[in-house]
């Protein structure tokens, strides 16, 4: 018996829900499984650009937000050298100086989208992902 892959919001929920629950990003009361919409009162997510085991990384490597406006990333570069943070699909490209924190205002986010985050200065830098879930 074969099953077809889910589509749309249900597919996004099926992929994201286990990780969200595992890492405590959402609780079951935040999810309406019938509508596929989510609530999130955060307006800012903290991100670190750091070095772990000799690899430059973004922590967390998966950032989950709900759709809408008024969202930002507070990014702190813990390394001794400049790093970049780019989200090409959103037109974001900044240089993060060592030991400094930057607030990056995000444009209005559309639900059901997954955006790549990378360091445009150092391609070997591990990338991250911005997952935008539909808001209630």
The 10s digit of each residue's pLDDT in 40-99 is 788 899 999 999 999 999 999 999 999 999 999 999 999 999 999 999 999 999 999 999
Q: 123: pLDDT confidence band, cut at 50, 70 and 90?
A: confident
* pTM recorded for the entire structure: 0.73
CA dist., res. 64 & res. 122, Å (int):
24
Statement: residue 23 has pLDDT above 80 = no
More confident residue, 109 or 10: 109
Could you please report the per-residue DSSP string of the chain?
Answer: ---PPP-HHHHHHHHHHHHHHHTTS--GGGEETTTTEE----SEEEEEEEEETTEEEEESSEEEEESBSS-EEEEEE-SSS-EEEEEGGGTEEEEE-TT-EEEEEPPPBPTTEEEEEB-SS-TTSPPEEEEEEPB-
Q: 3: pLDDT confidence band, cut at 50, 70 and 90?
A: very low
Ordered structural domains, the chain, with CATH: 40-133 (2.60.40.420)
Q: What is the pLDDT of residue 39?
A: 81
CA dist., res. 48 & res. 13, Å (int):
26
Largest Cα separation within the chain, whole Å, is 55
Mean pLDDT, range 15-39, rounded to an integer: 53
Mean pLDDT, the chain, rounded, equals 82
């Amino acid at each position: 018996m074969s099953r077809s892959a889910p589509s749309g919001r249900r597919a996004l929920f099926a992929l994201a829900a286990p990780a969200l629950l595992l890492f405590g990003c959402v609780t079951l009361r935040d999810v309406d499984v019938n509508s596929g919409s989510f609530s999130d009162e955060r307006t800012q997510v903290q991100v670190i650009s750091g070095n772990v085991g000799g690899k430059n990384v973004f922590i967390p490597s998966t950032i989950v937000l709900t759709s809408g406006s008024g969202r930002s990333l507070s990014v702190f570069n813990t390394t001794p050298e400049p790093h970049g943070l780019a989200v090409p699909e959103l037109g974001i490209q900044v240089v993060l100086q060592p030991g400094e924190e930057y607030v990056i205002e995000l444009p209005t986010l559309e639900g059901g989208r997954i955006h790549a985050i990378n360091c445009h200065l150092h391609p070997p830098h591990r990338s991250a992902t911005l997952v935008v879930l539909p808001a209630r």
